[in-house]
Amino acid sequence: MAEEIINLELDELSLVGKGANQYAKAPIFKSDISNGDVTKMTEDQKAELDKMSDAMKKKMKEYMEQKGMSYDKAKAMCNEEMRKSYEEENERLRKALIDNGFVIKSDSIEKKAAEEFIEFEGEQVAKSDIPAPVLKALEEAEAKEREAKLEKRANEELPHWDQEVAKGILKFDLDDKILEALKAADAAFEAVMTEKGESDVDGDMSDPAKALEKRQKELMEEKGLTKEAAMAELAKSKEGRDLINKAYYEKG
């Protein structure tokens, strides 16, 4: 005689090739978690689900409702997806930084220094491609060539200035008006030397020279300039040019 069992709770229901009782029936229901799992989730799981973002809740629902996963399994799958997403985004950002010339260190991100080049036999060659001993020799040769060119220019454009001062000034990118004023002062100095002789000029310019030296030192202290840079700064103003003329070129 058939018997009906009621109030029976099943922990697991498995599919088998052939059941022991082919006439036995067991109802199967699909869990509804549209508002959170109301049948399978614990109170802690419900509270945890409520705190998740809408996107996370949606993904959890897909795994639990559509793929039949447990809450813990669905959560693990969501976390794995998030981990992969973060890794992909991190790799994308890393590549973008490197492509844009940044250097990524363990504790900082820094802009990569611009590649430096040196001219060799008429071509620009990256310094990083040259062995250190060869690079040093090339740099020394280049420095000597620059110095020779600067010395030649100083002798041609400001021949009556102190050569070191003249070279120091001409290192800067001077506009045409300043350079013209310096050349005019040089010409005036030449005229004075021709008329009176260098020794007389030295005697006549003693006071203006001190004033020029004082102003030069003030600029060096105020703006942190070199001696040559301070002189170039003075030459930019009419007051400075007048002082230079008085110190070096005007008659007493």
> Which of 152, 162, 164 lies closest to 244, judged by CA?
162
User: DSSP states of 191-226 as a string?
Assistant: HHHHHH-HHHHHHHTHHHHHHHHHHHHHHHHHH---
In DSSP terms, 102 is beta-bridged to 111
- Output the pLDDT for position 143: 82
- Output the pLDDT for position 205: 41
Above 60 in pLDDT, residue 203? no
> Confidence band (pLDDT; 50, 70, 90) for 200?
very low
Residue 34 DSSP label:
B
Query: In the predicted model, what is the mean pLDDT of residues 210-217?
Result: 81
pLDDT digit string, tens, across residues 111-125: 766 777 777 667 777
Q: What is the spatial distance between Cα 155 and Cα 56, in angstroms, rounded to a whole number?
A: 78
> Confidence band (pLDDT; 50, 70, 90) for 252?
very low
**Diameter of the chain measured on Cα atoms:** 146
For the chain, give the percent of residues with pLDDT over 90: 0
Q: What is the spatial distance between Cα 100 and Cα 78, in angstroms, rounded to a whole number?
A: 33
- Output the pLDDT for position 2: 62
Average pLDDT, the chain: 75
Query: In the predicted model, what is the mean pLDDT of residues 125-134?
Result: 71
Residue type, 232: A
- Output the pLDDT for position 189: 67
Three-state SS at 10? coil
Residue type, 244: I
**C-alpha separations of 21 from 5, 46, 207 in Å:** 14, 38, 125
Above 70 in pLDDT, residue 232? yes
What residues contact residue 169 under an 8 Å CB cut-off, 6+ apart? 158, 161, 182, 228, 231, 232, 235
- Output the pLDDT for position 36: 44
- Output the pLDDT for position 30: 56
> Confidence band (pLDDT; 50, 70, 90) for 202?
very low
